[in-house]
Amino acid sequence: MCPFPDEVLERVLSLIDSHKDRSSVSLVCKDWYNAERWSRRHVFIGNCYSVSPEIVAARFPRIRSVTLKGKPRFSDFNLVPEDWGADVHPWLSVFATAYPFLEELRLKRMAISDESLEFLATNFQGFKSLSLLSCDGFSTDGLKAIATHCKNLTEFDIQENGIDDLGGHWLSCFPETLTSLQVLNFASLNSEVSFEALEKLISRSKSLRVLKVNRNISLDQLQKLLLHAPQLIELGTGTFMQELVSDPIKDLKNTFGNCKKLVTLSGLWDATPLYLPVIYPACVNLTFLNLSYATLRSGELANLLSHCKNLRRLWLLDTVGDKGLEAVGSSCPLLEELRVFPADPFDQEIFLGVTESGFVSVSHGCPKLRYVLYFCRQMTNAAVATIARNCPDFTHFRLCIMNPGQPDYLTKQPMDEAFGSIVKTCTKLQRLAVSGLLTDRTFEYIGKYSKNLETLSIAFAGSSDLGMEYVMGGCPKLRKLEIRDCPFGNAALLSGLTKYESMRSLWMSACNVTMNGCEVLAKERPRLNVEVMKDEDGDGSQAHKVYVYRTVAGPRRDAPPFVITL
């Protein structure tokens, strides 16, 4: 029995945003469950197949914002065939009736067609905010529909999608009457847009706080845009190189200096020492600098970073080398996140990239590091142990030694001790990606020590079923496990029998699992979907790609022929 009226309870609960907290709230009692469901405005669905749109609509009648994630993460790396699924349309159909006042849709790794985009644009009158990350199936025609019909658009965020880019005309479809835009991100769309239309759009969007243009926008053009939008908080530039010398440098510098609120800067394609200094006036306020598309060398980076004392997040290309990373260590004491991407992942002869020593330098100078993604070609156990000691607060540790199965290059030992030192020292670790030559010992460490681990990615590692068994036997908070090319078989798969229902999903590809093993799992756990993707070659007994996830929606009804649900 509830001591106060429903309305009060709902009012109180409406202040809770976190969906995890809301889930907890809904479990207290029936009254709280009801109050929670009526007051929820945003629903987050981490796996679109774990629940059906009908179930969602039935439970939550007043949703205004939906976040939906679809394909397994390895689809980003071409491991999931096209037409696998995660089509958003069934969701949109249900939402059109259940949530006609839907305002926001955030999709990640979903398949969305132009028809669906048009449906979205025309069936939801108050639609405001669209974010598409790593989605596919649509073209710029679909974007035209959104631009044309959504009269109250505030956010248009199109990132890294498998999009059919038919040209930049979509931008010209934003009507002259649209003045509400706050976020415009088309950095990963390659076609040219009409600069005239863009300039007009920016100048009338007084609330614009995020602008990320694509590479076709020149420095001169950027200058003009920034004059219209000095209030920007996040900026993604176009190309940062120009052949004609019309001396825009001084003007640009002033313009950047005028953007007092700028805290995030990205783009900077083709940036060279000539033009990079124009951003120096803005650097002191920057907290996030994304240089991962700028092929900078160590000297340029060092000069730049000397102005960036307040950086919390930094993304780089490995062209900066270890020397560049030394500069990071000495210039950015507040750094919390570092990502170093390979400029040339397939060819060792052009760029050596970064090594263990760069990483160690950063760890010395940046003790607050908690998120690292590091691509390198060599690493040692000793270096990682040092790094762990220097930065015990890691929550996300993703190390990619690019040559599969590569040992410690000095001792020739497996990299077991490296990851051992990480999991032993970094007790807050939530996400781990391992690489290099690893035996089952690594997984023994992980299973034993990572009490907070939620996401684990394993590739080309392990010696036997034991490896995976260690993980399944430990890691109490594990939610997502993705494994490729490891010698884990049926025993390993089945060792997680009691665990999978508490996880979001398991991916195993190119391991030693067979159809028999999968069938046993499916039989024992009817509330899991055990899906096997057929391989074209090979006999039918090997389960080449296995995707297991918990669901209340039953087996998929839209599975393509190559996906078998057991």
Partner 1 sequence: MSVPLEHDYIGLSEPSSMDKTSESSNHSSENALNLKATELRLGLPGLGQDLEKTPCKNSPVKSFVSGAKRGFSDVNLDGSCKWGFNGGSDGDSAKGSCSTTSVLFGINTGLENKQTQPPIPLPVEEKNKASVTTENGRAPPSKAQVVGWPPIRSFRKNTMASNLSKNEDVAERNSGCGGCLYVKVSMDGAPYLRKVDLKTCKNYSQLSKALEKMFGRFTLGQCTSNRLLRGQGLSESNLKDLLHHDECVLTYEDKDGDWMLVGDVPWEMFVDLCKRLRIMKGSEAIGLAPRFMEKSKNQLRGV
Q: Are 320 and 296 in contact (CB under 8 A)?
A: yes
List residues bridging with 155 in a β-sheet.
Answer: 129, 183
Residue 323: exposure state from Cβ atoms within 10 A (0-12, 13-18, ≥19):
middle
Query: Which tokens sit at 256?
Result: 């950047």
Considering the complex, state which of residue 224 and residue 424 has its C-beta at the smaller distance from partner 1: 224
Q: In one letter, which amino acid is 325?
A: L
Residue tagged 């028999």 (tokens): 516
Instruction: Collapse the DSSP code of 242 into the 3-class scheme (helix H, G, I; strand E, B; otherwise coil) and give the result.
Output: coil
Non-local CB neighbours of 344 within 8 Å, separated by 6+ positions:
350, 351, 353
First to last CA, the chain: 44
Minimum CB–partner distance for residue 79 and partner 1 (Å): 5
Query: Which tokens sit at 37?
Result: 């469901």
Considering the complex, state which of residue 106 and residue 339 has its C-beta at the smaller distance from partner 1: 339
Considering the complex, state which of residue 74 and residue 256 has its C-beta at the smaller distance from partner 1: 74
Minimum CB–partner distance for residue 373 and partner 1 (Å): 10
Q: Are 75 and 100 in contact (CB under 8 A)?
A: no
Question: How far is residue 132 from each of residues 202, 426, 501, measured CA to CA in Å?
Answer: 21, 33, 29
Angular region, 409: left φ>0, alpha ψ -120 to 50, beta rest: alpha
Nearest Cα to Cα of residue 507 among 478, 536, 473, 475: 478
Question: How far is residue 374 from each of residues 80, 97, 325, 379, 561, measured CA to CA in Å?
Answer: 24, 46, 12, 11, 38
Minimum CB–partner distance for residue 173 and partner 1 (Å): 17
Minimum CB–partner distance for residue 218 and partner 1 (Å): 8
Minimum CB–partner distance for residue 513 and partner 1 (Å): 18
Minimum CB–partner distance for residue 359 and partner 1 (Å): 16
Considering the complex, state which of residue 116 and residue 214 has its C-beta at the smaller distance from partner 1: 214
Nearest Cα to Cα of residue 374 among 365, 364, 386, 387: 387
Q: Are 259 and 233 in contact (CB under 8 A)?
A: no
Minimum CB–partner distance for residue 158 and partner 1 (Å): 11
- For partner 1, the binding residues (CB under 8 A) are 74, 76-79, 81-82, 134, 139-140, 160, 162-167, 188-192, 215, 239, 241, 243, 270, 272, 292-293, 295, 341-350, 375, 400, 402-404, 459-460, 484
Nearest Cα to Cα of residue 463 among 397, 518, 416, 399: 416
Considering the complex, state which of residue 204 and residue 313 has its C-beta at the smaller distance from partner 1: 313
Considering the complex, state which of residue 58 and residue 350 has its C-beta at the smaller distance from partner 1: 350
Minimum CB–partner distance for residue 415 and partner 1 (Å): 16
Minimum CB–partner distance for residue 23 and partner 1 (Å): 30
Considering the complex, state which of residue 116 and residue 154 has its C-beta at the smaller distance from partner 1: 116
Non-local CB neighbours of 457 within 8 Å, separated by 6+ positions:
398, 432, 433, 434, 482, 483
Question: Buried (b) or exposed (e) across 301-321, using 16+ Cβ within 10 A?
Answer: bbbbbebbeebbbbbbbbbbb
Minimum CB–partner distance for residue 270 and partner 1 (Å): 6
Considering the complex, state which of residue 35 and residue 271 has its C-beta at the smaller distance from partner 1: 271
Considering the complex, state which of residue 156 and residue 341 has its C-beta at the smaller distance from partner 1: 341
Task: Give dist(CA 465, CA 469) in Å, integer.
Answer: 6
Rg for the chain (alpha carbons), in Å? 25
Minimum CB–partner distance for residue 194 and partner 1 (Å): 15
Considering the complex, state which of residue 78 and residue 246 has its C-beta at the smaller distance from partner 1: 78
Considering the complex, state which of residue 93 and residue 191 has its C-beta at the smaller distance from partner 1: 191
